[in-house]
Amino acid sequence: MVQAEPVARPVSAEAILNELYDLRISHVINVPDTHQRTLLKALSQQSRIKLLTACTEDEAIAINAGLWIGGLRPMLSIQQVGLLAALNNVKALAMDARIPTCMLVGYFGRDVSLTARENPGRGVNLIEPTLDAWRIAYFPIEGPEDISAVSSAYRHCLEHSGASVVLIGAPTA
């Protein structure tokens, strides 16, 4: 059996962490994500960015809003299925209240040999069309060459006072 070449390749946790440092991110609010496990581990082993763990994505989005209102520079780390579950809070806080909300979103259950839209799992193949329908800007990372998606997404959420998503295609390395 011949294995297909991966469409999405891992990006190092260190590369993402360096992007977060460059953006002067103050906090990363996470709902634990196995897809971003190495990033969460790297965040837990440094002291420049505070890592906060929330129980749900709704809670994480609300914490993000409070930190932003308090003058800080937060970002979220969640899974795509959690983002789907929390769209009401995204609408209320990021879109309606216009609070910059940048989310690092891991593709839980993605077959990295297929594009996201070609994946058989609905939680994977529907995230991009759902974000399109909600007019939420997203910035895919399909490999190390796409690392600038993190800063592009963060700048977008600031410039548009709303939501943006970094779709992390393969588990972080």
For the whole prediction, is pTM greater than 0.85?
A: yes
Residue 4 lies in a domain: no
Residue 98 lies in a domain: yes
Residue 5 lies in a domain: no
Q: What is the extent of the structural domain holding 95?
A: 13-168
User: For the chain, what is the domain count?
Assistant: 1
Q: What is the CATH number of the domain that holds 72?
A: 3.40.50.970
CA dist 107 and 68 (Å) reads 26
Nearest alpha carbon to residue 168 among 103, 119, 94: 103
Residue 7 lies in a domain: no
What integer pLDDT is reported at residue 5 of this predicted model? 83
Residue 3 lies in a domain: no
Enumerate residues 6+ apart whose C-beta is below 8 A from 145.
Answer: none
**pLDDT tens-digit map of 64-79:** 999 999 999 999 999 9
Enumerate residues 6+ apart whose C-beta is below 8 A from 76.
Answer: 28, 29, 30, 57, 60, 61, 64, 101, 102, 103, 104
Q: Could you tell me where the beta strands, DSSP code E, fall in 32-115?
A: 50-53, 74-79, 101-106
pLDDT at residue 148 tops 80: yes
